[in-house]
Every structure is written in structure tokens, then in C-alpha cells.
Amino acid sequence: MIYSDPLDPPMTTNCLCLSPGKVLFSAGGERTMDELAKNGIDVIPIQVDELNKMGGGIHCSSLVLDRDDID
């Protein structure tokens, strides 16, 4: 288990898993990003200040992508 740092901004952990070991993460959560990186997680930081103003985060702004099978 990797704990988020309480000194990071609220909703820091509202991230999006892209694949095992790779996440989109709030750029403001520097302490938690460092901890994730120390544990082998590839962290892609993005600015989410405008999303946070409306009470949302990265994961809140995503949808499921369902693709057709390719023959």
C-alpha cells in the first residue's frame, strides 16, 4: 500500500490508471508522486487546477472506451 501525503492538495489521488504501473496524476501532488515513483510507478503529471475548481479530478473526467474487435 502506498499512502498519499496529507500535505498534497485535496483530490491528489483522483488519478487515472493507464496500464499496470502507469498513471495520470495531478501535478500538484508532488510528495505523493515521488512516493509512487520510488515504488516503480510511472507517473505522468498533468495540471488539473481548472478541473478541481469544479469539484472534479482526472478520473472524474474520463469515460470507458469500448472498441470493436479487429478481424
- Report yes or no on 69 lying in a domain: no
**Alpha helices, DSSP H, located in 1-71:** 30-38, 49-53
Q: Which residue has the higher pLDDT, 21 or 62?
A: 21
Contacts of 40 (CB under 8 A, 6+ apart): 21
Model pLDDT for residues 6-61, shown as the tens digit of each residue: 999 888 888 889 999 999 999 999 999 999 999 999 999 998 877 777 777 777 77
Report how far apart, in Å, the C-alpha atoms of 44 and of each of 19, 40, 41 are: 12, 13, 10
Amino acid in position 51: L
Q: Are 57 and 51 in contact (CB under 8 A)?
A: yes
Domain region containing 7: 1-51
Q: Considering its fold, how many domains does the chain have in total?
A: 1
- Report yes or no on 14 lying in a domain: yes
- Report yes or no on 68 lying in a domain: no
Tell me the pTM. 0.76
Query: What average pLDDT is seen over the chain?
Result: 87
Average the pLDDT over 61-65 and give the result: 75
- Report yes or no on 59 lying in a domain: no
